[in-house]
Amino acid sequence: RKLRMSHVQNISSPKSEFYYVKGKRKVRTNKNEQGNRSPLDISKQVQLSKHEVTNMRRSQVPLIRETLSQLWENDMLPAIWFIFSRRGCDAAVEYIEDCRLLHDCEASEVELELRRFRMQYPDAVRENAVKGLLRGVAAHHAGCLPLWKSFIEELFQRGLVKVVFATETLAAGINMPARTAVISSLSKRIDAGRQLLTPNNLFQMAGRAGRRGIDTVGHSVLVQTTNEGPEECCDVIFAGLEPLVSQFTASYGMVLNLLAGSKVTHKQKESGDVKAKRSGRTLEEARKLVEQSFGNYVGSNVMVAAKEELERIQKDIQHLSSEITDEFIDRKCRKELSEEDYAEISLLQNKLKEEKKIRNELKKRMELERMAAWKTQLEEFESGHLPFMCLQYKDKDSVHHTIPAVFIGSLSSFDD
């Protein structure tokens, strides 16, 4: 908000001239009219198109030299400068290789270390990066040989390299502590265009700032570009971190490797031959090894969260069940209703109970009459020979069922 208001104040200032592109012509705004307006009115009336915003941001993008001078003046070096392309890292080193960031003693020490490295590994030296290295600037990315990258890391840890231009792969796994992490852009180019950084990627790179035991504060600098400004920066920062997802998957090969164990070499005393054997793991040892994986840790956390959620739901069910009992409803009615209404409801409930009681008695009487009607039919089968049969019926899902039965006789009605 402060950046946007400062821009609006620059527009409204009578001392400054503001040009904006409209079509192909440049139109100059009237200074006298702007001087009489407040910044809030102008912020409402100035509606810039996407092309105009891009032009405005392009004019406000700081150069690498300007940003580097700010870091130098504010004592924010050494720094890791993240650029999302190898070519961009090498170009940045060549662009500022004339800027001297080392003192004479430090430059002499770097030159001495470079001579030693050249004598040991002459083929690993990047000749196009030597000039920048002697000034305290280097590049670190997958295009460099591992030996050269290790050499840069060692010089950076010793404070002999002040700025390292690196890709985002350096944000994880390498011990290169810096006082400041500079992120050159909030988006990177992919096959489908430009993709905004995720909060996890941004905080992973920003987390490289601050050296343990040396710095009390680490600085993270986000540089404005033609594609991103303060609004996009806030969107990424306040979006919240995404949960970590384990890529652990069980496969047949992994199971065989777990059970096979590690290779152990044995040397026979008589012949002197060396034979390799595999000391297999037991199922219990393999299970313990799998339980140490991050995937199992995440899964156990999910199970704990699911159990807690289940317990909470069960408590809610018990609480709701206690609220629908007759005693609870009676207490609530007595509390919220007047005495006349409560007495009327109680009278109706008593009548309902009596009606239910009568209905149950009629059901019992009907069952007794039905059983008495069967008695006369059963007397015909005193010989003990009963005709068995199988009944078939179809339920509501159109599924056939069979029931074993005994044929007793035909009844016209249960009153017979």
Residue 38 neighbours by CB distance under 10 Å: 11
50 pLDDT above the threshold of 60: yes
Candidate ranges 195-209, 324-338, 348-362; pick with highest mean pLDDT: 348-362
User: Which fold, 64-239?
Assistant: Rossmann fold (3.40.50)
pLDDT at 298 over 80: no
Residues β-bridged to residue 21: 26
Task: Tell me the DSSP string of 233-298.
Answer: HHHHHTT-PPPP-------HHHHHHHHH-EEEEEE-TTT--EEEEEEPPPHHHHHHHHHTSHHHHH
Question: CA–CA separation, 130 vs 114, rounded Å?
Answer: 9
pLDDT above 70 coverage of the chain, percent: 76
Q: Kindly report the average pLDDT of the chain as a whole number.
A: 76
Q: How far apart are CA 404 and CA 206, in angstroms?
A: 78
User: Cβ(138)–Cβ(158) under 8 Å?
Assistant: no
Report the alpha-carbon distance of residue 238 to residue 320 in Å, rounded: 38
The residue extents of the domains of the chain are 64-239, 330-406
| Distance in angstroms (rounded) separating the CA atoms of residues 181 and 266 | 51
* Torsional sign, CA 124, 129, 134, 138: negative
Averaged over 149-156, what is the pLDDT? 87
Residue 171 near residue 179 (C-beta atoms within 8 A): no
Interval 178-193 mean pLDDT = 82
Question: Is 182 buried (19+), middle (13-18) or exposed (0-12) by CB count in 10 A?
Answer: buried
Question: Any bridge partners for residue 190, and if so which?
Answer: 193
Q: Are 12 and 35 in contact, with CB atoms under 8 Å apart?
A: yes
Scored b (16 or more CB within 10 A) or e, 382-413 reads eeeeeeeeeeeeeeeeeeeeeeeeeeeeeeee
CA distance 183 to 83: 7
pLDDT, tens only, 394-405:
888 788 888 888
End-to-end, the C-alpha distance of the chain in Å comes to: 94
pTM beyond cutoff 0.75: no
